């Protein structure tokens, strides 16, 4: 028997073992990369939700500047817009200037939302998001 045949019991010296080990290594690599991508997306999601909330507040503060306050109907529109974007209505808290103010007086809009951060292998966390915009009435 040749010396090479005796050593074939070792994985490193047998020909054709790459055919067996390469798919396993690739599968493990794909699983690790997929897990890292999922973690990265889950970590970045609160920032995306914060920007959605902020842009809606900016839109409605312009309405408040124009009219001097925010009506109940406009508050409902704000809530509906946020719910349509995926926010949970039960976790939204909106504070605002509810009565008309004259030109130059301060107005405010404050929207708070509790975001549930869910990351695999880690305990779920609640992130409070608070957007407060202040301006003055231009009416």
In this prediction, residue 12 carries a pLDDT of: 55
27 domain-assigned: no
- Measured distance CA(113)–CA(130) in Å, rounded: 6
**For the segment 86-114, what is each residue's pLDDT rounded down to a tens digit?**
999 999 999 999 999 999 899 999 999 99
- Spell 102-113 as b/e; 16+ CB within 10 A means b: eeeeebebebeb
The structure's pTM equals 0.73
Q: Is residue 22 part of a domain?
A: no
- Structural domain contains residue 92: yes
* Residue 69 domain boundaries: 47-136
Summarised one tens digit per residue, pLDDT across range 70-88 is: 999 999 999 999 999 999 9
Average pLDDT of span 51-59: 94
Whether 36 is covered by a domain: the verdict is no
Q: Domain for residue 24, yes or no?
A: no
Q: Is the pLDDT of residue 122 over 80?
A: no
Q: Is there a domain that residue 10 lies in?
A: no
């Amino acid at each position: 028997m040749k010396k090479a045949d005796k050593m074939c019991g070792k994985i490193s010296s047998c020909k054709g073992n790459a055919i067996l080990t390469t798919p396993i290594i690739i599968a493990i690599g794909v699983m690790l990369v997929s897990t890292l991508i999922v973690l990265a997306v889950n970590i970045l999601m609160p920032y995306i939700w914060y920007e959605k909330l902020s842009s809606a507040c900016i839109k409605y503060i312009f309405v408040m500047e124009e009219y001097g306050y925010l009506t109940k109907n406009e508050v409902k529109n704000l809530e509906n817009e946020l719910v349509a974007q995926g926010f949970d209505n039960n976790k939204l808290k909106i504070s605002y200037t509810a009565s008309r103010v004259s030109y130059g007086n301060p107005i405010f809009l404050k929207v708070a939302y509790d975001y549930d951060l869910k990351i695999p292998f880690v305990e779920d966390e609640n992130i409070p998001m608070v957007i407060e915009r202040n301006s003055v009435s231009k009416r």
